[in-house]
Structure formats: C-alpha cells, structure tokens
Chains A and B, each alone.
Chain A
Amino acid sequence: MNNFDDSLQDKLQAIENGQPLPDVLHQARQEDEELAALIQFAGEVRAVPRPSISAARAARDRQMLLQTQAANSRSAQARRPYARLAFAAAAFALVALFAFLGISRLAAGSAARLAEVNGLVEVAASNSDDWRIVSAGDTLRAGQRLRTYDASSVALTFPEGSRTVLSENTEISLAALKSGLGGTITLELLQNSGNTSHRVVPFNGKNSAYVVNTPGGQARVHGTTFDVAVETGGLSRFSVTTGKVEVVNAGRQVFLNPGQASLAGAEIGVQDAAYTFSLRGTLQSIEGSVWTVDGVKITLTDLTQITGTPAVGSIVQVDGRVLADATWQADTVAVITDTDPQPQVLSFTGVLESMESSQWKIGGNSVLVNSATLLDPDIKIGDPVRVTFRVLPDGTWLALSIERLGEEQPQPTATPITPTSPAPASSLVFQPVSAEVQGCTGSEFSTQGMLVNTGSAAQDARLEALVIEGAGYLDSVSVSPERVDVPAGGSTGFTVNVGLNGNWASATGQKVTVRLLLSHASQGPVQENAQFDFTIRSDCEPTATPSGTPTATITTTPGATTTPSAPASVCTGANPQPTGMRLAAEFGVTYEEIMGWFCQGFGFGEISTAYELSRESGVPVADIFTMRRSGMGWGNIKKLVNSIDNPTQITGTPQPGLDKDNNNKDKDKPVKPTKKPKVEKTKKPNPSKKP
C-alpha cells in the first residue's frame, strides 16, 4: 500500500465530507507540496462546468421510459394466463416429435438455452457490439457472447444436459458447441471475466470435450463439477467439487481432484493442485501479510485479489488454498457489504489422514469430532473431504460437519436417466492393492495388476485414476483398459502408465501417488473399497537412471517427455490461441492461416463457418471472406457459393497488412486472451465415461 496514495485519498475524502478546500490544502502542504498540488488540481477538475442537459430531450426520454414500462407491464399481464399452457403444449409437441424421430440429442442442435435469468444479462454476436437483453428461454449459439452485470446471473443448459451458471459481472463466449453422431459433443467456452460454475455430465465417446478457456489457462473436463473465476489481469482460479479437471497453461498440465484448486495466469503458469479453504467471518487482525479471520491465520501474497478495503472488524469472505507447506494462502479477499450477511462459515478441504478417537487429522489439520458433528456415512481414511468448523476459545477447531467429496457424478439436467434394473452383485478387487517403484529424471513408469471378480458378472466397470500426491511432477496418467467386463469368478489385467515431467529430476525425497478407483458398472455394483495405489519415489542423484523395484508385477520404462515446439507468435500475442489451433487441425490448414483471418477481425465462429462452406462448395475461402467483408450475411453467402458451378480448391490465404496490433483503433477493446494450446502428450489421462 502506498502512503502517498492513502494521504491523497484521505484529503480528497475530507473535501467530499465537507471540509473546506483551503483547510485541507494547508494540511497537505505541511505533509508534501506535491500532495497539495494534486489536491488543488483535483479541485479544478471538479470545478469544470458540466454541460447542461437539454430539458426537451430529457423530458422526451423520460416519457419514453414510462411508456416502455407500461408496455412491459401490459405484455407481462397478457402473457401470464397463457404462458404455462403454451409452454406445456410446445414442450409436449417437441418431446413427441423427438421421441418419434429418436434423435433428441442431435435435434437439440448447437445451442445452449438460457434459464434463470436474473438482473441484466445481454448477448451479442462474436463480431458485433450490439448487445441485446436476453430473457429465460432464449438461446446462445456458437460464436455468441454473453455478459452479466452487477447483481445479475444466468444459467445455461446445454443439449446433452450439462449446465453452466454465470455469476454477476461475468463475460463468456460460446466458442464451439457441436453435437455429433454417437452422442459426442464438443463444447468450448471462453471466459474473459467473472465467475462461472460448471456441472458437466459424463460425455459419450473419447471425442467429446468440455473446455473452458480463460486468459490464464484452460480447463478440460469430462463429467465433473467445477468453478472458474477470472480476476483482474486474467489470473484464473479453477476449483473442483466432483470428478477431475485438467488445467493447462503453457504446455503444463495439472490435474485437480475433488476439493482441489489451482491458480493459472500468464505470469505464473499453472500452479500445483492444492486443497482449498473458504472463510466467511470477522477480520480480527492484520499483521503484515498474515491476517486472522475468526481465529484462522491466512497469508496474503501479491496474487491475492482484494475487493473493498478490509479493516480489522470487517466481515470478509476469503477463498484460498492450503499449500504443501501448510500455509493457508488467500486467493481472494472480499469485504462483505450485505446488510444481512450469512453467519460465520469456515471450511476447508483435504484428505482424511487419521481418525483417532475424537481427534481427526485432515489435510494436516487436527479437528475435534464430537457427537454433534455431522458425518457422511462410511467415511474412511484416504477420502477427500470438506470440513466445516468453528474455532473454540482455546483455539481448537471443532468440526461441525465432514462430507466426503467426489462421490457424486453430475447428471443431465435435461435428459431423464433411464433407471437400470437391479442385478446380482459383483465384487471386484485389485490384486495387489499397491505397487511402488523408485526412479529419477523425466520418465515414464508403468505397473500392471489384476482386477479379480469374486462375485457375479460385472459389466462396464470403469477404472479411474486420481492423483493423490505429487501432481506437480505429473505429465500424464493413463490406464489401460479403461473399461472392463469381468465374468463371475474371472479376472482381467490392467496397466497404469505415469509420465513425469522435468521437475522430477530435482524431486529428491518426493513421491507421486496415483490411485485407481472403480466407478460405476452398468451391471452389478462395485465393491466400494477397491482401490490400487501406484507410488513412484524419487531416488534422484545427479545423473541417476530410473530403475524399477517392483513389489508386484511392475515394469518401469524410462523415456523422454515429448514437448512440442510452440508455433510462431501471432497478433494475439506470443502464445498460440487454442481455438485457432483446433480450427487449423480441423480444416487441415496452418495455424498461421487461421490466425491470419482472425487478425483481420473475423471471429473464430466466422472462420469455422467460412471453411466449412468452402469445404462443402469448393469456393476459395478467401472469396468467402471477401463476400463477408462486403457486408453479406452468411445466409446469402451460402446461397451464392452453392450456386457457383465451377469452384476451385480452397486457397485460404489471409490478406496482408491488417494486423490487429497495428490496427487497434480502440484502446478500450479488451485484450484477446492468449494461451498456449493444450499439448498432446504421448500418454494422457483419460477419464472418459459413458453415462
């Protein structure tokens, strides 16, 4: 905090509170002449005459406003008696039609539906700044942008049942939304600011993807519940409630498990996964960067985003992460100004480490558990949990509730789930239940084991990998096979491959643990306790070669991690743009070509449309962009290109000389997010699941 800035504000505030300017100036001169000069200058700016308002214009606008209100009221009243009936009839007709055709997923089309619109929410096309107000029931199509204002929010429901909620002051664009045969879906959002919550249902097929791009990184998921917050400067916080999220920035991947969060940004890359905390309470002390909220010490850093002016006694909301060294690092601190704030709420997440009598250890913290503590049934050591607690006068943390995280799988909000009939019980167990190897340098390690069924037949049991420890060293995790059918009394083998990154070479004394779990089997429940831990311990010496020390059926395979070289920088900045990369791959052209169009001002949605049209019609893509540039609508362009008899091949060559950086006429235009594309690894985790 800058003392000069504080003094300046204090003096300006004094004037705003009615203190005479000469008095304030006199005080300021005694402190600093420059301070007094700025206050004097601020006074001169305040004194500049304001333009008078045209009384006629103001009166006309006022009248129009009142008429609009009256019209809105009449319209609402007229709709009310019939709205439900009309909606029900339309819904019935649609359901009947889709049921008849049997193509409900495809027919849902490439649009998200807006629901629960609160306050002011607006939509615009990707290449337009004509924002219009939306209401519940409207749709958001690929290429469109959506923004919310203060005290506003909106929920998006996607064709396959996933749901995204935008909080206030949030802006996103729907970069891509495509449904394909076999129920595959590609959904890509670009979040420029604000907070979003995502409930992603498990997709069909490996080709399905749900991606959230932010200026700070990319989250890629496949059936999970998570939140994304984009702060000033693009710093992004990804946090996971259920399932698993892969966060990518500048080629580095971090996997977040339930209860974990990570920060990602251009300056910091993507930080290691860490468990989280959330405190809503009274700020009791401020000692440098260490603050105390209701008895809990937190540490602030340069990355901490502060809203308002917290002071001792303020009610604050703090969200942060519990770092490996047990520091509770605050990511955001906000002064709560609600007139009726929620009562004190303190919580954190972590792994349940021990359950000795009334003292439980969770994520390195001891909590007191008594008869009043609400506990999830069957909670066990090793579970990731969320603890809600309060601090007793003697400093003890009393657990109010402990809930297990990650059990719930998000379910579609739009598509009903067909109940499965009960089936005889299977009982799947891993043999062995753990394996451990030692190794060093950036390498790949693998281990094998058996999955044995001691009960009746199990079909479609899924093996999922969770990173328990050492996520910062991980490059990739894969399990093969991902799905198994195991006959009654039978068994099947599996292999786990773990790729470690370059940091592993200096990870002396560290370890990485990946846990295999069994998730839903479509026939036969799966034994809950079945799990398999694969641990890799570092034995790093300066020039050590990875070596395996099998405790089960284990093979270790040393190898180098592949790191693709980054494409050349384009007008969006030094980093490649992921959507540009995707489109280049999709249409078989160079990344530079795609970005050439982008740099000329075409949105990715338009570029995709142009290349698709070109591919369908054979008309050169440059000609299509020329038509678009002339002001033609896409409908007319499509009609025209389809009527051309002798098209030539696609020759998309961007027009030169229109670099956005050199053509930035508007200083207010937000900077396009620049990100590295997701790097394809030789081995990557694949949490794909069928619903």
Chain B
Amino acid sequence: MLNIEADTTRLIAQAQKGSQEALGALYDRYYTGVFHYLYYRVSDLHVAEDLASDVFLRMVNSLPGFTPRTTALQAWLFQVARNLAIDHYRKASTRLQVPLDDTLPGAGSDPTLAVEQRLAYERLSHALQALLPDQRDVIILRFISGLSLSQTAHILHKSDDAVKGLQRRALEALRSHLQEWKVEDEQLR
C-alpha cells in the first residue's frame, strides 16, 4: 500500500527542487479537499475558487522553506485555507451572504435532482453559518473534507479530547438548526 505521507514528503522534496510534475501532483491531490472546505466555509463558489487558488500560491511561494517536520502538508494547507477564510470575513465586514448560485455545478441534466441538490447546499450552508466558528470548522473538516479527528485538532490548535466534545456539540447544534427550518418549511406548505 502506498504510504501517502511518505509519498507527499517525496513530492515536496521534488517540488522544492523545481519539479513541475511533483508540484502538479500535490495540487491534484489536495485541491478538491481544500476547495470543498472553502466552499462550505464561505458559501460562495467564486470566492472559494479564488481563496483555493491563493492557498496553493502560498504553498508554492513558501515551498523552499517548508520542512514537513511534524506537519502533514494536508493539515498545513487547511490551516492556510482557514486563515484565508477568516481574513475574507474580516475584509468583507459583513455577515456572510449565502448566494443561491446559478452556476453551482453538480446538478447534471435532471432538473428535479438539480433543485434538490441546490436546496441541500443551501440548507447546509445556512445551518453552518448559524454555528459558532469552531463548530462550523469541525463539521466541515470532519464530515465534508473527511479529515481525521487528530488532523482536525491540529488545524484548530486544540487537543483531541477538546475536538471530541466540539464535534458532539457541533452535530447537535447543526441538527437542531436543520430541524427547526424543516418544521418551518412544512408549516409554510
């Protein structure tokens, strides 16, 4: 079985020597996860794309001095993504707008499915914005980006035990928000 961490370390070393193939491989390996994290963090497709691009630009600019001593590149990239998302909020200086993005891809050709998927995105995005920032991060990192508890703890600068508690509270809060809106939707019908 391929040891992902060892392979990543090898790719970093090659990229540091200027290998475009290695850099491309790193990009391909981590772009999707970073983009999904950013999408659900900022709830705007285009902003998520811009921020993801910025994350990888920072990676390439700091590659010469990067030493993956205790840190997997993946956690490092998510940490950068998280900071950029926080900076984005500050710069925007407004509560997050959740656009119903007509360009949101993934619906395929089935219009019913497309509407359902868009509603799913929208509901989850709205509910995530109602959470506390750390709760929002733990839901996205754990259940959307698929990171392990330890990786999540590392990115959030918390202990594993702290994230266990945070994970439970985040799930409870998210479920509560979604259930409230579900009831409201049904009453409107």
Contact = CB atoms under 8 A, between A and B. Distances in A.
A202 B148 CA distance: 48
Given A53-B35, A129-B87, A151-B71, A120 B132 contact: no
Contacts of B143: 42, 45-46
Given A61-B56, A66-B20, A50 B36 contact: yes
A119 B171 contact: no
Given A68-B60, A69-B23, A232-B157, A119 B65 contact: yes
Main secondary structure of the interface of A (DSSP, over half): mixed
Contacts, number: 197
A645 interface: no
Main secondary structure of the interface of B (DSSP, over half): helix
A8 B87 contact: no
A73 interface: yes
A151 B68 contact: yes
Contact of A52 (B58, B67, B105, B157): B105
Nearest to A338: B70
B89 interface: yes
Contacts of A70: 18, 20
A19 interface: no
B73 to A, nearest CB: 9
Contact of B90 (A9, A45, A129, A337): A129
Contact of B57 (A5, A65, A76, A121): A65
Contacts of B7: none
Contacts of A267: none
A16 interface: yes
Contact of B93 (A16, A45, A666): A666
A372 interface: no
Nearest to A41: B175
Interface size class of A (residues with CB under 8 A): 35 or more
Contacts of A493: none
B66 A120 contact: yes
Interface residues of B, number: 79
Contact of A76 (B56, B58, B64, B121): B64
Interface stretch (A300-308, A344-352, A376-384, A430-438): A300-308
A51 B105 contact: yes
Nearest to B169: A5
A151 B70 contact: yes
B164 A8 contact: yes
A587 interface: no
Given A8-B164, A9-B167, A62 B27 contact: yes
A551 B69 CA distance: 59
Contacts of B167: 5, 8-9, 12
A668 B161 contact: no
A38 B169 CA distance: 10
Contact of A5 (B24, B150, B164): B164
Contact of B144 (A48, A129, A665): A48
Contacts of A337: 70
B133 interface: yes
Contacts of B86: 668-669
25 contacts: A2-B168, A4-B168, A9-B167, A38-B168, A45-B124, A45-B143, A46-B143, A48-B144, A51-B45, A58-B31, A61-B53, A62-B31, A68-B57, A70-B18, A76-B64, A117-B65, A120-B76, A149-B80, A151-B67, A151-B68, A306-B159, A308-B153, A308-B160, A666-B92, A669-B90
Given A5-B167, A51-B105, A232-B157, 20 more contacts: A5-B164, A8-B167, A8-B168, A37-B175, A38-B171, A38-B172, A48-B144, A50-B39, A50-B106, A61-B53, A65-B27, A65-B60, A119-B66, A133-B62, A149-B79, A149-B83, A232-B162, A307-B153, A308-B150, A668-B133
Interface of A: 1-2, 4-6, 8-9, 12-13, 16, 37-38, 41-42, 45-46, 48-54, 57-58, 61-62, 64-66, 68-70, 72-73, 76, 117-121, 129-131, 133, 147, 149-152, 168-169, 193, 232, 305-309, 337-338, 665-669
Interface of B: 15, 18, 20, 23-24, 27-28, 31-32, 35-36, 39, 45, 49, 52-53, 56-58, 60-71, 75-76, 79-80, 83, 85-87, 89-95, 104-106, 117, 120-121, 124, 132-133, 139, 142-144, 146, 148-150, 153-154, 157-162, 164-165, 167-168, 171-172, 174-175
